Structures are given as structure tokens and as C-alpha cells.
Amino acid sequence: MKKYKYIINNLDCANCAREIEEGLNKDKRLCNVHVNFSTSKISYETTHNISLKELNELVKKIEPESFITQEDINTETDFNIIIFIIAIVIFIISIFVKNKIINNMLLIITYILLLYKIIIKANKILINNHSIDENFLISISCIGAFLIGSKAEGIMVITLYTIGKLLEHYAINKSRSSIKNIIDLKVKNVQIKEGTSYKDVPVEEVNIGDVVLLKKGDRVPIDGIIKKDSTFDTSSITGESEYVKIKKGKSVFSGYINIGDTIELEVTSLYQDSMIARILDIMEDATEKKAKTENLVSKWSKIYTPVVISLSLILFLFLSFIGNLSFKDSLYRSLTFLVISCPCAIVISIPLSYFSGLGIASKNGILIKGSNYLDQICSLKKIIFDKTGTLTTGTFNVESIEIIDTNYDKDKIIELLRMGESKSPHPIAKSIMNLSNKKIDETKIKDYHEEIGHGISYRINNKKVFIGSKKMCNCDYDTDLHLNVNGKHIASITINDGLKDGVKETINYLNNQKIKTYMFTGDKNNVAKAIAESLNISDYQSEMLPEDKYNYYEKVSSNMLTAFVGDGINDAPTLKRADIGISMGNVGSESAIEASDIVIMNDDIKKISLLFEISKYTKKIIIESLIFSLSIKVLTLILGSIGMVSMWLAVLADTGVTLVTVINSLRIIKKYNNIQNKNSCVT
């Protein structure tokens, strides 16, 4: 099954996006249809050959003004503005015309010019999709105002509504543009080397082995190896503010910016497999995993309009038969009720707020795979950290060697240790090998065996040597590593792996947030205890194998929202199992990106504090928008029902609230746009 992605144009309503998504998902040829209102993208999977024309026909049955293209196009509203201006001019002329017949004709022409597109759209949706939307509500209200003699007020309503929609269209596009500027790091064309010259080609056509020209200030278009030393701005990928010097022959990732002189890059991956392509795919797919608030609003919006029409009818009947109002006054108030009730502010601002949070987190080097994870982070009750590579650097050093058997001197012990560790890929092995520069004769090493999580054994000159845990080496010393020869304990070795920068600040931040912290490690109990106590970690588990972490996660989480933070390699199973898996993934680590729900791209643990702050602030903005929009609507509904709000003031309140909530969502971007230049650990 193949996945397709396109641009969907003229999508100014989140409710319309939901209806298109649900409508297309009913087509048996299409699977997993997702319409992203925030980025105006549509994606789906299918085994059928469906043309763009056929897809557009399906979309137009649901949302007549929306259409699908392969690339972004300019959808200016100049024609609509011209028609709008002509209508207003005719209305102004009608004010000065004294002849009643001509005056009515001019007003009818004004109504037609202002309402015809709205009525056509409302009817198409009603006929094709068997549903009613805000276009239907506005049409009923304005036609009703005309019929009861409030012609000028009806024109005022549609005029304010049209101006509001134009401003809303501008605000939404501005919001989308702000988000796209953060996450859209793709370079469309590159210069590849052909002989002694270069030619422009689309980035998708670049092949592995091609040589690409990178001038000063150019963004790296595709992953590769540089042919000359240079300096790069990596902030768009890692969120790191300081420039990084990278030497000739080393890898650089798409999205970096070349700050040095002109250089050449040898391509090592196709564009679709590059770092930036994977990040953009994840960001575009992120809104498919919706937060509870989004799902709740989506379900609520399905029944909203029918309920509003029913309440408007009840209000009309109540005022007419019980409230003793005239037919005209009762109908006017019920029509005002319809105008006030348009749900745009809520259904538009929420997805924009979440996507603003996702986008700004990405700019700061935090890749979040769904708005549901962004929403949940600030509600975490527990967080578990792997030790090595997450809390500690993972760069091991031999701190001390305690000789137990005095028949062996230090040089001999080091020789035996180095012979055993010379064949091991474990990081500790490197620290042992660094103890001496003497060449090792590997031909003397016989029967080499490594038992993962416990240690290694080998035979030399009829001596059986064990290097590893106290269980393997048959001793009671509680240190990191032991040496046993022919069943006798010879020496104990203490290994040190230092804490990462910012670990203490991050743990303190989490403790202040009342989040219980845990540490899982395969290290010895005394080492684990010392680190846990020094960091003020609530609880820890030591001497764990990878499968132990997975199994013990169940006990720790105990049905409470729990995150696991690991290095994305041997912690992959637990990262997958966790409610929220956070990977401290070095840039380019595929296992980190694949296994976890959130990736800290530059391995900076301080970004966890920033992640919590972005999550909290995004939720704060959403709550503000919900409270503000609902409060204004409820207040206006009450005032409208008792005749204290006119129809034109109602539509002004509706469009005004929508604009305020859309602009409010952009505060998330503004607040954290330049955070990488500051201390990420927010307190």
C-alpha cells in the first residue's frame, strides 16, 4: 500500500478539514486519510490508481471550495474582494435613493452579491454531504433579516461576516506561514558537480555519490561527507546555539547551515532517507496523533450545528408563545442566536496551538511525534531515566585498581584485563585498553566468550581468566569490575562515568514539578546508589539487564502516566512500551528516532525541562482560548436572547473572538522562538 501526500487549498475551517477527512475515509479505496488543517496537507494510503482529478471530485462533494494540488499555489481572493466592494458601493447608493422600488432592487442586488457564494456553498454541502455548517447559519440569518424588514441590518451582518472571514483567512495563513518557517528546512534545488562545472537539479534527483556545492550561508540539502573543514550552524536540527566545527571526511546532516567558506559535499543518502526528510515526515504526521482536547472538539463539532438550530427554534417558540413577543421580534432574536453560535474560534485555534507547540519544539531540537504527547508531558506523574548515556556521559575511565592477590603486580593485572577486553565492543573495554599502549598478541587468547550483562572469559597459557561481575568472578567486592584467574579473585576495578552537564538542574526541576524520578541501570548497586543520592533521584534499580528494564517498567508505572528516558539503542523495547518514550538520541541515530515518541536531537538532557515548559504553555494557551471564546459566546447568547445584542454586533463578536484566538496561538512561537540562545532549563 502506497502513501500519498498533497496540498489542500482554500481550507480555512478546521471543521471542514474534519468533514473532508471523515468523508474520504468512507471511500473503500482510501485508507488512513488525514487532513492537516494547520499545514494544509492531505495524506492517504491506497493500492488503487486514483488520479488527482478524481480525488478533487471527491473533495469538492464534501467541501466545494477546497481543491488539491501537488505544489503550493497562490489562492488570492482578489475577485471576491472586488465583488464585495461593488456590493458595498451599491448598498451606499441605495441609502440615498428615495424611490422605494429602486431602493429595494438595489438592496436585493447587494444581498445577491454578498450572499450568493455562501448560499451555493451551504446548499452543496447540504446536498452532497447531508450536513449543515456556518454558511447555512449565516444564510438563514441574513435572509430572515431581509424578510422581517431588517434589510440594512442583514447587509451589515453579511458585511461584517465577510470582512471577518477575510481577516480570518489572513490570520490563519499568517499562522501557517509562521509554523512553516520554523519546520520547513527543505532545499528545493542543489548544485551537483559535472566535470569541472555545476548544474542545478531538484534535491529529489540527487544520487548517492554525487558531489554537491555548498557556498557560505547555504543550508545542507542532503546528508553527506564534507571534503574540507568548515563551521556549521546546527541549530535548526539540534537547537544548539553555538556553531560547530566539523573536519574533512566527517558527516553532516541536512538542515545544517554552512557558515564557513565554499566547500563540497559527497552525498551519502537519498533525499527521502535524509535527516531533514525524516524530521519533516514526522512533523507532518504528528497531528495525526491528536490530543484528547482535539478529539473532544472534533466529536462535539459534529452535533454542534444541529443542536444550535434546534435551540434557536426552541427560543423562537418560547419567545413567541410564552414570552409574549411579536413574531418579528422573536424571529430576530432567534436569528441573532444562530449568528452568535458559529464554532470557528474553538475548532480553528486548538489545532493551530498544538501545531505551534510542535513546531517551536522542533526548532529547539525536540522532535515530538504527536500533539497527544505534547499534551501529556505536563501531566506526567513519574519519569524513569536510564543511567549510562542518559544521565552519565557513557565515556568510561578507570578510577582505581585494587589488587587482592599480591602475587600479581599492577602491570600484569592490566595486561590480563587488556587481553580480555581487546575483543569486546563494550564502552568499558575502551577505558581498559587506554590503560596501556603495549601491543597485544591476540594469538595467545583462546576460548574467548562474552556473556552479555555479566562479563567475558578466555584462556591463556592454561589459565582460565574471568573479567566481569562479582557473580562471574566469584567474589563479594561491590565494585564495577573484577579479575579472576583459575577461580581466584585477583583484583577489583572501579569505573567512573561522569554525569552529563545539566543533569542535576533537570532532576531538581522535575522534583520541583512534583514528578517522581527513577533510575534504571545495569551498574553495580553501590555506584547506582551514589549517583541516585547525589542527584536526589527518588528511587533506583541496579544490576539490570535490558529485559529487566522492560519488565520492571510495569511495576514502576502502576497505571500512572510514566515516561522513560533512554539513549535509543539498547533501551528501544522500553522506549516503545512507555506511555511516553523520550530518547536522548545523538543526531542521526535511526534507532532513537524510530523507537521513541519524543527525541532530544542533540542529546542535551536540559531540553527535558524546556519540553515540559512548552507543553505547559501550549496547554495554557489552549485553555485561555477555550475560556475566552466560550465566555464571550455564552454572554452574547444570553444578551442576544433578551434583546440586548443586535445581529450585527453578534457577528462582530463571533469573528472578533476567532481572530483573537488565532493570534493567541502564535504566542507559543513568539515565547520560545529564540530560546536556544538562552538557558534551556526553565525554572
Query: At 384, which CATH number?
Result: 3.40.50.1000
Residue 536 domain flag: yes
Reference 138, options 346, 344, 340; nearest CA is 340
596/512 same-domain check: yes
404/493 same-domain check: yes
Q: Is 386 a catalytic residue?
A: yes
Q: Which residues in the chain show pLDDT less than 50?
A: 676-683
- The full DSSP string for 501-565 is TTHHHHHHHHHHTT-EEEEE-SS-HHHHHHHHHHHT-SEEE-S--HHHHHHHHHHHHTTS-EEEE
Q: Which residue among 601, 628, 647 closes a domain? A: 601
- Give burial (CB, 10 Å; 0-12/13-18/19+) of 76: exposed
Q: What is the pLDDT of residue 679?
A: 41
Residue 21 domain flag: yes
Residue 148 domain flag: yes
504/375 same-domain check: yes
400/440 same-domain check: yes
> Please, which residues have CB within 8 angstroms of residue 522's CB and are 6 or more apart in sequence?
388, 453, 542, 543, 544, 545, 546
pTM over 0.75: no
DSSP class of 40? T
Q: How far apart are CA 200 and CA 397, in angstroms?
A: 50
400/383 same-domain check: no
Q: How far apart are CA 72 and CA 459, in angstroms?
A: 68
Q: What is the pLDDT of residue 675?
A: 55
Query: At 23, which CATH number?
Result: 3.30.70.100
Half-sphere exposure of 251 (CA within 13 A, CB side): 12
86/160 same-domain check: yes
594/663 same-domain check: no
560/417 same-domain check: no
Residue 255 domain flag: yes
Q: Which residue among 69, 90, 119 closes a domain? A: 69
Query: At 399, which CATH number?
Result: 3.40.1110.10
Query: At 222, which CATH number?
Result: 2.70.150.10
Q: Which residue among 277, 310, 332 closes a domain? A: 277
Among 133, 218, 386, 523, which one carries the catalytic annotation? 386
103/247 same-domain check: no
Q: What is the pLDDT of residue 162?
A: 80
493/518 same-domain check: no
> Please, which residues have CB within 8 angstroms of residue 105's CB and are 6 or more apart in sequence?
none
Residue 611 domain flag: no
Residue 607 domain flag: no
Residue 174 domain flag: yes
Cα dihedral 308/314/316/319 (nearest 10): -130
Owning domain of residue 29 = 2-69
pLDDT digits (tens, 9 = 90+) for 621-674: 999 988 898 888 888 888 888 888 877 787 777 778 888 888 888 888 888 876
Residue 234 domain flag: yes
- Alpha helix (H) residue ranges in 97-210: 100-129, 134-147, 151-183
First to last CA, the chain: 47
106/241 same-domain check: no
159/196 same-domain check: no
Cβ(578)–Cβ(373) under 8 Å?
Answer: no
586 Ramachandran zone, left/alpha/beta (phi>0; psi -120 to 50): beta
Q: How far apart are CA 175 and CA 170, in angstroms?
A: 9
Number of domains the chain is built from: 5
